[in-house]
Structure 1
Amino acid sequence: MDNHSHALFLFSLLSTYLLFAFGIGAESESYYHVIKLTSLLPSPHCSTPKGSNHHENKKGRLKLDHLYGPCSPFGHRRKPTPRQILSQDQIRVNSLQSRLNPRPHNVEDTKTTTLPAHMGKGNYFFTIGLGTPKSELTVSFDTGSDLNWVQCQPCEGQCYSQQDPIFNPLNSSTYLNISCTSPECSQLPSATANPTLCFSSTCVYTSTYGDGSFSRGYFAHETLTLTPSDVPNFAFGCGESNVGLFNTTAGLIGLGRDALSLVSQTSKEYGKVFSYCLPSTSSSSGGYLKFGSDDATSVKFTRLLTNPKAHSFYFLQMVGISVGGKQLDIAPSTFASPGTLIDSGTTITRLPMSAYIALRSSFREFMSNYTMAPALGPLDTCYDFSQQDMQAPKVVLHFGGDVDVEVAESGIFFLGSQSQACLAFLGNSDASDFAVFGNHQQQTLQVVYDLTSEKVGFGVAGCS
C-alpha cells in the first residue's frame, strides 16, 4: 500500500470512528433528531384561511389551538414569560399532587407574584356552540377537571375580560336552571355539607382552583353544539361571578372521568371515547379535538388505571424510558404507585427523581459536545441553539402492553430564548409524588381515550 492509499485508509477509519462516536452515522440515525431552532420557535403565521370554517376540521374534528399559538385570537396580548409558565405549571402540579397526598409545598414552588392565572384551565382552546340560537364560545379544555362552565350575564358578582360576547341565558329558548333536588346538583363537588348550594330552589355551583381563581353561579341545562349535531340537556355552570384571568376564554370544558364531565354526559352520543392532537410549538395549522371514534388504525393502547382517591384522573402504567435507543436502568416499580398521570393541563413532564436523574445523565452524555447554557428556573439542562443546529437523542417513554411513545423533537426542549433550550423534564421534589405525562411531551401525538374499554392509545403524526 503506497503512502497515498495508506493516508486514505487512515482517514476512512477516522471518519467512521467519528461518525459512530458522535452518533451521526447511518446505523444510529434512527436514535437521533437533528433539531433546528426554527422547529422550536412559534410560527409567525396561521395557515387557516380568512373566512373559512376554522372551528371544525376534517372527519368531524374540532380545531384545537394553543392559547399562545399563531392562530390564537387573544393569547399574544398576555403571553407569560417562560419563567412564569414554569412557575404556574408548578402550581398546577402541586394542586394535582395534593389530591392524593395533601401536604404543604415549598413556598418557592407556589409564588404567584404577577403571574397570569391558568391553573386548571388548560393550555388549548376550541369553539363550542351554546344555546338556541347558538352562541359561539371559545373555551379551554382540561382532562384534570370535570365541571363545565362559561361566564354568563348579568355578571352580578364580577366577570373577567373575555374575547367573545358573554353568554346571555335570556337569549336562549333552551336554557333551564337545575333545581336543588336534582341528582345532578348532588353530584357537584361543592354539594357536600354546603348550605349555600341552593338559592331560591336553584342549584348553585362553585369551582375553585389552586391559584385562588374561581367561578360561581347557577347550575343549568342547555343545548350544546360540538359538531353539526346537538347535545340537549347539557349540564353546565352559568358563572355570574368569576375571578381570574382565564386567558380571556369564555370558560372551561372538563374532560375528566366523573359524572359531570363532558365525556360522561355525552356517553350515549360518543360512547365515552375522545381523542386529540396537541399541535407543536412551530405549527401554523393547529391540532384537533374529537368526540367519538376516530381513525385509530395505527394507535397502540395501554391500560387505564384508576385511583380511588382521584377517580377522575387518567393514570397509566409507565415502565421505562429510553434515550438515544438505549433503555435506562430504571426499575419499573419506580413508576408503579399510583401510576403516571396523563394530563392536558400540565406543561412539563414530571418524573420520580431517580428516573429524572437517570434521564438527565444520559441526555447530558449524548449532548457532551455542546456547550451548556444557564439553567432556566428548575430546568437545569440547557443548551445554546442560536449558532447551530443540534443533534439530540430521541426520548421514548415505555408503557404497559409494549406501548412505546416517542417524544416529538418539539417536546424534548422547552425554549427560554434562542440561546437557552432546556431539556423539558423535571424530577418530583417528594418521593410520594406521582409522575405526570405533560402536554409539551404529548405534542403531535394522536391520543385516544376509550373509557368504555379503559384504555388510552397513542399514534404518531396525529395532527397531520
Structure 2
Amino acid sequence: MALDSMHSSLKFTILSLALLHFLYKPTCSTSRRVLDQVNRTQMGFRVALKHVDHGSNYTMLERIQRGINRSKFRVQKLNAMVLVSDKSTYDVESKVHPGNGEFLMNVAIGTPPNPFSAIMDTGSDLIWTQCKPCDDCFDQSTPIFDPSKSSTFSKLSCSNDLCEALPTSTCQDDGCQYLYTYGDYSSTQGILATETFTFGSDSKSQKVSVPNMGFGCGVDNEGNGFNQGAGLIGLGRGPLSLVSQLDEPKFSYCLTSIDGSKTSTLLMGSLANPKALSSNSKATTIMTTPLIHNPSQPSFYYLNLQGISVGSTHLPIKKSTFSLSDDGTGGMIIDSGTTITYLESSAFDQVKKAFTSQMNLPLDDSGSGGLDLCFKMPKDTTSLEVPKFVFHFKEADLDLPSENYMIGDTNMGVLCLAMGKSSGMSIFGNVQQQNMMVVHDLANESLSFVPTQCDEL
C-alpha cells in the first residue's frame, strides 16, 4: 500500500466518554519423528488465546500500562542480548531468555489428557509445564501434571538432539536435566521428557493429539513471571519450539482488540493460509515481507523495516537505523509477548517530533499516561484528527489503523502514542498487531499481515 498524501490525517468519532475507541478502516489494503506418527492432514489446528487481562474491568490505557509493566524486564533483556559484543560474555548472556508473555493458550498434556493454560511466546523455544513432585512450584488454577499417572510420559536421554539443543543441561542417572532462565529472573528447572500434547480445545476446532513432543517437566519453578498460567509454549525458530518439533513451516495468530472481551486465535499448519484467510479479512491485499535470520539470535523473527511515515511525511531516518548488523546487533523483531512497539531511540525521537508538530493538542507532561508521548484532550471531545502512521517494511507498507497506535482515555484527559524508545533493537509489539492475521511462513522465510476482524474467526 503506497502512502496516500491526500489522507495525511484520520478523522474519527469518540463513541464513549469512558474510553476513546478509534474506528479507522485501512485505506488499503520437534523434529520429524513427531510428524511420522501424526497424519499430516491433522496438522492444521486452532487454539483460542486469551489476553492475560481478559475479563478484567480495565480501560484500554490501563491494560496497556499493565502490559508495559509486565514487559519491562522482557524488553531490557531483549536489548541486552543483542548489545553484548564480547563472544565469551555473549555465550553466558544468551542462556537467559526474554520471558513472560501476554497471551494464554489452553492445551492438554499426557494420557489421559490433563488440561492446563500456558503462555504463548514467539520469543523463546522451550515448551514446559509444572510437574509433580514439585520442589518449588507457583500456584496454578489447574492441577499440576503428575507424570506417574500418564501412560505416555518418557524421559529423554542426554544424547537426544533436543537435550543437546538446551542452553543449559546436565546429565543425571534419570536423564537430561534442564535449566531455562528468563529475563524477569523467573526460571524453570527439571527433566526433559516427551509426552502427548492435545491442541484445539475450543468449539471451532477439532482436537489434535501429537505424541512424543519434547518438553520441560519443571519441578523447580521460581519467580512470578508465569503465574498467569502453568507453563509456556515456545513458538520461536529454535529446535525446542512447538513450530520446529511439529516440522510445520507455517503458523499464524490473530489478536483481538486489547480492550475487548473476545478471544484471539492461534492457527498452526494447514489452517495458517493467508489466501484462505483473506476471505474473512478487511482487505483483499496480503502484505508480505521477508523474514531475516540472525545467527546470533536464531530464535527471533526479524523484519526488514526500511522507514516510517507520519501523516504525509516520510521521516528522514537513516537507513542503517533498523538494519541488522554483521555482529548481530540492531534490527527489528516481531514479538507477541511485548505490549507496545519500541523503536530505536533516534527513530523514536523523529516520530515524537513529527506527532508533536502534526497534532493540534498540547503536550501532557504529567506522566499519568505512562507512555513517552501523550497529549491533553479537551473535555467533551467529540472528534479528533490524528496523523496516519505507516511502517515501510521491505515489499510491504503497513498502514496502521489508528486504534493500533493511538490510545485515549477521556476520564484522564489524555491521548497517547502506544510506542516507546529502545536501544540495541526495535520491537514490533502486539498492540500494533491488533486485528491483523500475522502469518509466519518459515518455508518461504516470510511474514504476512492480513487485516482481519479477529473476533469473527
Bin for the TM-score computed over the shorter chain: 0.7 to 0.9
Matches of residues 60-139 of structure 1 in structure 2 within 5 Å? Answer: 60-70=45-55, 85-102=67-84, 120-139=99-118
Matches of residues 443-458 of structure 1 in structure 2 within 5 Å? Answer: 443-458=434-449
Change over 3 Å in CA distance of 1:63–1:85 after alignment to 2: closer
The one-letter code sitting in structure 2 at the alignment partner of 1:67 is V
The one-letter code sitting in structure 2 at the alignment partner of 1:393 is P
Pairing 1:209–2:182 present: yes
- 2:128 is aligned, of 124, 149, 157, to 149
The one-letter code sitting in structure 2 at the alignment partner of 1:424 is A
Instruction: Name the TM-score, length of structure 2 as normaliser.
Output: 0.78
Matches of residues 37-436 of structure 1 in structure 2 within 5 Å? Answer: 38=16, 60-70=45-55, 85-102=67-84, 120-155=99-134, 157-191=135-169, 197-227=170-200, 228-245=207-224, 246-267=226-247, 271-293=248-270, 294-297=272-275, 298-338=285-325, 339-369=331-361, 372=364, 374-376=366-368, 379-385=371-377, 387-388=380-381, 389-401=383-395, 403-414=396-407, 418-428=412-422, 430=423, 433-436=424-427
Instruction: Tell me if the contact between 1:38 and 1:282 (Cα under 8 Å) persists in the aligned partners.
Output: no
Change over 3 Å in CA distance of 1:93–1:412 after alignment to 2: same
Inter-partner Cα distance in structure 2 for 1:181 and 1:362 = 56
Inter-partner Cα distance in structure 2 for 1:343 and 1:414 = 20
Inter-partner Cα distance in structure 1 for 2:217 and 2:419 = 37
Larger gyration radius, structure 1 or structure 2 = 1
Instruction: Tell me if the contact between 2:253 and 2:265 (Cα under 8 Å) persists in the aligned partners.
Output: yes
Change over 3 Å in CA distance of 1:274–1:395 after alignment to 2: same
- In structure 2, stretches of 5+ residues that fail to align are 22-43, 87-96, 201-206, 276-284, 326-330
Change over 3 Å in CA distance of 1:40–1:324 after alignment to 2: farther
SS at match of 1:310: coil
Instruction: Tell me if the contact between 1:151 and 1:239 (Cα under 8 Å) persists in the aligned partners.
Output: yes
Q: 1:15 corresponds to which residue?
A: none
**Greater mean deviation of Cα atoms: 302-311 or 223-232:** 223-232
Instruction: Tell me if the contact between 2:73 and 2:184 (Cα under 8 Å) persists in the aligned partners.
Output: yes
Pairing 1:36–2:14 present: yes
SS at match of 2:355: helix
Change over 3 Å in CA distance of 1:285–1:86 after alignment to 2: closer
Instruction: Name the TM-score, length of structure 1 as normaliser.
Output: 0.77
Give CA-to-partner distance per residue, 1:374-404, whole Å, 9 cap, x none. Answer: 2358723213456424322221111001x01
Compare relative contact order (CA 8 Å, sep 6+) and give the higher one, 1 or 2. Answer: 2
Identity of aligned residues (%): 38
Inter-partner Cα distance in structure 2 for 1:442 and 1:39 = 25
**Greater mean deviation of Cα atoms: 373-382 or 232-241:** 373-382
The number of equivalent residue pairs is 393
- Aligned-pair Cα RMSD in Å: 3.0
- In structure 1, stretches of 5+ residues that fail to align are 1-26, 44-58, 105-117, 192-196
The one-letter code sitting in structure 1 at the alignment partner of 2:177 is V
Inter-partner Cα distance in structure 2 for 1:40 and 1:96 = 35
Instruction: Tell me if the contact between 1:318 and 1:332 (Cα under 8 Å) persists in the aligned partners.
Output: no
SS at match of 1:362: helix
The one-letter code sitting in structure 2 at the alignment partner of 1:427 is K
SS at match of 1:185: helix
